[in-house]
């Protein structure tokens, strides 16, 4: 372990000192055991003070974009973009093919995958198609893309990870894994990290070179969380792992109460994990000790595939009993429950005191973060499994029937005409 930590520190110094430090970026059953220690605070401190990684994170947040699934490497699902009190439908794009992917926003472009194997680039202002990239597999692209300055990255259900030119929509390179990729890619510095159903977590360079891969004991459905301590990964083996970002070596691990489909979140020095079996765990990111653990419902097991959003001392996520639930991050006590008429696999987005989420009942909801009361809703007419992207005073979300919707101030609609 000591040798591993020295290697991690040395590799991290090399990454952080690289002059050409590119800004990359503007959902099984299983059980398993784990090995690995918890002595990783020195590495965490090094990562936290690494100027390249801090600059990257600040650049992402300051840009006003939503380039990653859940908006940022920590996967908090929080947007700083301002939305009007009354949002209006600005445009609709009909893909005419099912969509379960979630959009991301970078610059003036929306990127989203389709179940027919395409990656779409849409104009944020009016929804017009810029280009369509055909993965060639005729299998779903369920993973959310990850958008960079020059390339867009996404995995597909055949297990191929694609890098596409963000301007032309042409293939730059591909990388094949052993099984389907539902996990979105996360990013930090010169690293792209994602999981596959082949049980591995992969780390690639922007050029498509395999930097490392780390084996787990079951499918990795969720998107890895990049945080100051490294890479937090929770999968279908019921283990929350921390991997060294530079080498992929496992530096910490803790059992969580069930298999995980939702992506872990880092906020306020803690890691939050919600399991598919309806358990919530709050883990101290320094000691990897469990701070608290609770059940979504005291009466029954409630499956959760929705990735949580965390802000203002609240953790919010959807459930397959048709509810959106909020808990206190300090002690895990329930705060409120909002009911819909369908499964809520869509991951919520917090924007100020507002929470936006889709439901399988075919509705997009806006809920008050403090009270859990409905503030607004939009009837899409088809199930909404997609999670929203909120950036540049706009909210973009898709329905299963292939309709992509953009909401914002009505004045923005007039400007685009």
Q: pLDDT tens for residues 192-220?
A: 999 999 999 999 999 999 999 999 999 99
Q: Identify the residue whose tokens are 């499956």.
A: 303
pLDDT the model gives residue 298:
87
**Would strands 78-79 and 349-351 be described as parallel, antiparallel, or unpaired?**
parallel
Query: Which sequence spans correspond to the domains of the chain?
Result: 2-416
Contact in structure between 95 and 404 (CB atoms under 8 Å): yes
Residues of the chain falling short of pLDDT 50: 1-62
**What strands, in cross-sheet order, belong to the sheet with 363-368?**
78-79, 349-351, 354-358, 363-368, 374-379
What percent helix, strand, coil does the chain show, rounded to 5? 10, 40, 50
Contact in structure between 179 and 198 (CB atoms under 8 Å): yes
| φ/ψ of residue 278, rounded to 5 | 85, 35
pLDDT the model gives residue 51:
36
Token readout for 355 is 């929470």
Ramachandran region, residue 259 (left: φ > 0; alpha: ψ -120 to 50; beta: rest): beta
Token readout for 4 is 């591993």
Helix (H, G, I), strand (E, B) or coil at 139: coil
Contact in structure between 56 and 47 (CB atoms under 8 Å): no
Contact in structure between 4 and 244 (CB atoms under 8 Å): yes
**Would strands 151-155 and 78-79 be described as parallel, antiparallel, or unpaired?**
unpaired
Those residues whose C-beta lies under 8 Å from the C-beta of residue 69, and which sit 6 or more positions away, are: 75, 102, 104, 143, 144, 146, 184, 186, 223, 263, 307, 387
Supply the DSSP symbol for 14: H
Predicted model pTM: 0.87
CATH superfamily of 2-416: YVTN repeat-like/Quinoprotein amine dehydrogenase (2.130.10.10)
Contact in structure between 157 and 140 (CB atoms under 8 Å): yes
Q: Identify the residue whose tokens are 């945080």.
A: 227
Q: In the chain, what is the straight-line distance between the N-terminal and C-terminal CA atoms, in Å?
A: 60
Q: How far is it, in rounded angstroms, from Cα 95 to Cα 93?
A: 6
pLDDT the model gives residue 411:
83
Kindly provide the b/e burial profile for residues 344-368, where b requires at least 16 CB atoms within 10 angstroms of the residue's own CB: bbbbbbbbeebbbbbbbbbbbbbbe
pLDDT the model gives residue 6:
47
Token readout for 159 is 């297990």
Q: Identify the residue whose tokens are 């609609």.
A: 413
């Amino acid at each position: 372990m000591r040798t591993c930590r020295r290697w991690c520190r040395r590799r991290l110094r090399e990454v952080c000192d690289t002059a050409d430090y590119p800004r990359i970026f503007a959902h099984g059953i299983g059980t398993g055991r784990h090995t690995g220690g918890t002595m990783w605070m020195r590495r965490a401190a090094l990562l936290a003070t690494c100027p390249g990684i801090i600059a990257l994170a600040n650049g992402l947040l300051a840009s006003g974009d939503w380039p990653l699934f859940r908006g940022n490497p920590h996967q908090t699902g929080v947007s700083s973009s301002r939305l009007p009190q009354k949002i209006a439908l600005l445009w609709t794009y009909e893909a005419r093919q099912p969509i379960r992917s979630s959009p991301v926003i970078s610059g003036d472009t929306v990127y989203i995958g389709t179940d027919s194997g395409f990656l779409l680039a849409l104009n944020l202002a009016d929804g017009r198609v810029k280009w369509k990239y055909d993965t060639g597999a005729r299998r779903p692209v369920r993973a959310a893309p990850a958008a960079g300055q020059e390339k867009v990255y996404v995995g597909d259900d055949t297990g191929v990870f694609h890098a596409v030119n963000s301007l032309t929509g042409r293939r730059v390179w591909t990388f094949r894994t052993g099984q389907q990729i539902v996990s979105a890619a996360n990013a930090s510095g010169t690293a792209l990290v994602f999981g596959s159903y082949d049980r591995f977590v992969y780390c690639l360079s922007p050029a498509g070179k395999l930097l490392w891969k780390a084996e787990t004991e079951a499918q990795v459905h969720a998107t890895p969380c990049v945080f100051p301590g490294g890479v937090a990964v929770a999968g279908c083996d019921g283990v929350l792992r921390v991997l060294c970002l530079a080498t992929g070596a496992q530096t910490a691990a803790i059992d969580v109460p069930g298999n995980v489909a939702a992506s872990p979140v880092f906020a306020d020095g803690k890691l939050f994990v919600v399991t598919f079996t309806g358990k919530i765990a709050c883990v101290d990111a320094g000691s990897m000790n469990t701070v608290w653990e609770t059940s979504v419902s005291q009466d029954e097991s409630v499956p959760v595939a929705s990735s949580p959003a965390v802000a203002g001392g609240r953790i919010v996520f959807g459930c397959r009993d048709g509810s959106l639930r909020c808990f206190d991050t300090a002690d895990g006590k329930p705060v409120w429950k909002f009911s819909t008429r369908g499964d809520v696999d869509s991951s919520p987005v917090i924007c100020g005191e507002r929470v936006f989420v889709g439901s399988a009942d075919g509705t997009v909801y806006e809920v008050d973060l403090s009270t859990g009361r409905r503030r607004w809703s939009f009837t899409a007419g088809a199930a909404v499994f997609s999670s929203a992207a909120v950036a540049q005073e706009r909210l973009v979300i898709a329905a299963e029937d292939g309709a992509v919707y953009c909401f914002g101030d009505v004045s923005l609609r007039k400007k685009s005409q």
